[in-house]
Structure 1
Amino acid sequence: MNPSFRKLPRPAQGFTLVELMVGMVISMLLIIVAISLYLAQQRSYNTQGDVAEIQENARAIAQLLQRQGRQAGYSDFTFVDNSFGTDNTVDATNDTGANSSDTLTFRYFGSSPPGTSLVVVPAAPDETVVDCAGNNIGANVEVTEVFSVVNDAAGLPWLQCSVNGVGTPLFPNVEAFQVLLGEDTDGDQTVNRFVPPGAANMGNVRALRVSLVLRGNSRTNPAPTSLVLNHFGEMYALNNVAPAGDAGSVVNLANDGRLRKHATFFVALRNRLN
């Protein structure tokens, strides 16, 4: 073989500086897109979780308060000594809770099976009357339960129920709790007006209107169109200005990226309807 035609070894080849820079830019763009997609999915997941939790809590609170409201004023007729004395079986205070929230009080006795001995203390419950903490109440046991908003040590607001002085936090992230009292002013068993606590004759109250603000945990949601929330609407607080004596009926929400829901419902006081 002619030596002049021998193949010479190829020199080592690699990437040029320009090629390396282009590759790095493309890699960075792909990483940025992947991170953006992940963050968007994470925000969507958190928002969906907040929506589900808020809706479930709103539904559960409405069911609980409506159930407890039906029990207010109940007494087992078998126990003739049952008496509420001078206490109102339904009571409320205005703007005395955390975040200018109201408080709501129900009083009632429990229920026992037919034939229960009147000398048994406490009487065995028949499991038809249950307090807000889930305890069955016997017929000669009086319950006073108070619903209010409290902040825990970390500042998280809870809807709490206190049973005979023992508080139990029930639902987290309840920022505000407002109540209007439905008063029958002419004795025809029909509500004529809704007024704040302190403005009604409690003996004439036949129903309640409850308003709640519940919030989510995530802080990545866009700001709402308005940060002013009117619990009971323009007919009650014209131009979003709280009426005198009920400052908590209009609230300014924090612009903190949290999802919030305003929930309202009515509670019929069955034992006050004759």
Structure 2
Amino acid sequence: MKSAIPIQPAAETIRLEQGFSLVELMVALVIGLIVLLVVGTLFMNSRQTYLAQDANSRLQENARYATELFGRQIRSAGYTATSFSPLSATDLFAKPPSTKFSGTAISGTEVSGGSDTLTLSFDGSKDCLGQAATQPSNLFRVNASGQLECVAGGNVGVILDDVESMQVTYRVKGKTAYDPASSVDMANVTSVRICLLLRAKADGNKRAVESGQSQTYDDDCSAATVSVIKSDGYIRRAIGMTFVLRNQMP
């Protein structure tokens, strides 16, 4: 005996097959767009924060490198290699070898409205480019591409990227103020103050800061800040460093 198959009413079948209404679909779309907007905003903010932190880390790394580089070079300026030989058996009163540096320990040029140059020399075995030299003369300058470079032995090499400017001042014996190269006697310089304006951004076309954003920084380490609007995406920071010429001290 066959069992009877229940037959659903037509009205109930139609009700079960109904989908979303237009209003429900529009509400769902609006909610989805809001969620996408919030997530996109959070992502962009996080990305911008990361790029700024990465650029700041790069600035700090470049500042440490520049401080170490100039510190080593300036402290060595005027160093002379002295060889002490035993007393002569024939002349006990022979004059000892000279301990005065035979070259020019330090020199520099002041560039109005641009980057200064600094030249350092000492007795050694290699120059700033790693070339063999018994008395290297290393000239430091900033080129038009925003790179700190060294000129030695007729060759030029890039030492550090993303350097906008270099300002150098000097202090001489008996004075406390630091003056530009045009106002000092280089033979009496005892210490040097260098200000580098560094910049950094993320790799490629990614920006560390938004284009056209106002930036405030001390461009010459004088404690007088300037506020400028830049559109290149770089962030900038001025670092100041002061070093004593140990071999030029009285």
TM-score, length basis structure 2? 0.77
Aligned equivalent of 2:148: 159
Judge conservation of contact 1:109–1:137 (CA < 8 Å) in 2. no
Partner of 1:151, secondary structure, is: coil
Which secondary structure state, in structure 1, belongs to the residue aligned with residue 219 of structure 2?
strand
Question: Which residue matches 2:214?
Answer: 223
2 CA distance for matches of 1:273 and 1:223? 44
When residues 32 and 3 of structure 1 are mapped into structure 2, their CA distance, relative to the original with a 3 A threshold, is closer
> Residues 3, 106 of structure 1: CA spacing in aligned structure 2 closer, same or farther, 3 A cutoff?
closer
> Counterpart of 2:204?
none
Measure how far apart 1:223 and its partner are: 2.5
**1:149 aligns to what?**
142
- How far does residue 4 in structure 1 lie from its aligned partner after superposition? 11
Letter in 2 for 1:107: S
Q: Let me know the Cα RMSD of the aligned residues.
A: 3.2
1:204, CA displacement in angstroms? 0.9
Deviation at 1:2, TM superposition (A): 11
Mapped to 1, the partners of 2:167 and 2:246 lie a distance apart of 21
Give 2:167's match in structure 1, choosing from 165, 169, 178. Answer: 178
* Distance across 1 between alignment mates of 2:13 and 2:200: 66
CA deviations 1:3-27 (Å, max 9, x no partner) are 9975336223112222222211111
Radius of gyration: which is bigger? Answer: 2
Q: CA deviation at 1:84?
A: 7.3
1:10–1:207 distance in 2 versus 1, CA, 3 Å = same
- Equivalent position SS for 2:234: coil
Does residue 68 of structure 1 match 2:70? no
CA offsets 1:216-261 (integer angstroms, 9 cap, x no match): 213425523x467343246xxxxx8xxxxxxxxxx77552353221
Query: Quick one: distance in 2 between partners of 1:147 and 1:81?
Result: 29
Q: Distance in 2 between matches of 1:223 and 1:167?
A: 35
Q: Is the 8 A contact 1:68 1:131 kept in 2?
A: no
Other structure's SS at 2:181 match? coil
- 1-side partners of 2:242 and 2:177: how far apart? 13
Say which SS state the counterpart of residue 63 (structure 2) adopts: helix
Alpha-carbon shift at residue 268 of structure 1 (Å): 0.9
Among 90, 110, 116, which residue is 2:106 paired with? 90
Question: Is 2:225 aligned against 1:255?
Answer: no
User: Where do 1:101-120 residues align within 5 Å?
Assistant: 101-110=115-124
From 147, 169, 178, the counterpart of 1:194? 178
Amino acid at match of 1:210: I
Change (3 A) 1:67 1:253: farther
Unaligned 5+ runs, structure 2: 85-96, 202-206
- Structure 1 vs Structure 2: percent identity of aligned residues? 27
Distance change (3 Å), C-alpha of 1:254 and 1:91: farther
The answer as to whether partners of 2:194 and 2:241 remain within 8 angstroms in 1 is yes
Which residue of structure 1 lines up, in the alignment, with residue 92 of structure 2? Answer: none
Q: Across the two proteins, how many residue pairs are aligned to each other? A: 225
Distance 1:22 1:227, change over 3 A: same
